[in-house]
Amino acid sequence: MPDPFYHLLAWVLGFGSFFLLVLLIGHVLVALVVIIPTWRICVRAGFAGAWSLLHLIPVIGSFVVMAILAFGDWPNGEATSD
């Protein structure tokens, strides 16, 4: 293998890793904006606030949190329960 190939490979791998890191940090930052209010909603409903961390799971996580809040019985009581 010629040296230029490894040189290019190193660049591709390095750039790819950097891109993934930026993507990961960006995802966590965006998720935080949703996690903070969801944490409070969960606590006010009577659930553990840690459920809101499911927002960290891309695509499906938000739906799971919403399903818990929408279809679970709120331990702290619901306005529609009676």
Partner 1 sequence: MGTEFVALLGLAGLSSAFAFVALVLAAWMAWRIVEKAGLPGWTGLGAVLLTLTGVGTIVPLILLWIFAFMRWPRDAAFASPARAPAAPGPATGGPMAGSSGAGGSTAPAAPSALPPPPKALADGRGWTLTGKLGDGQAVSLSFDASASAWMLTGAAAAQPTDLSLPDPSVGQPHARLMVAGARLGLADLGTAGGTFIDGARLLPEHGPRDITAVRTIRLGGVELTLSRV
Among 2, 3, 4, 76, binds partner 1 (CB under 8 A): 76
In angstroms, the CA 36 to CA 38 distance is: 5
State the Rg of the chain over Cα: 21
Residues with Cβ within 8 Å of 68's Cβ and at least 6 positions away in sequence, in order, are 42, 47, 51
- The sign of the dihedral angle between the CA atoms of 69, 66, 44, 81 is negative
55 binds partner 1, rule: CB under 8 A: no
Interface of this chain with partner 1, residues 23 to 42, rule: CB under 8 A: 33-34, 36-38, 40-41
Among 53, 56, 61, 69, binds partner 1 (CB under 8 A): 69
Tokens of 5: 């190939």
Minimum separation from the CB atom of position 41 to partner 1 (A): 5
Residue ranges in contact with partner 1 by CB under 8 A: 33-34, 36-38, 40-41, 43-46, 62-63, 66-67, 69-71, 74-80, 82
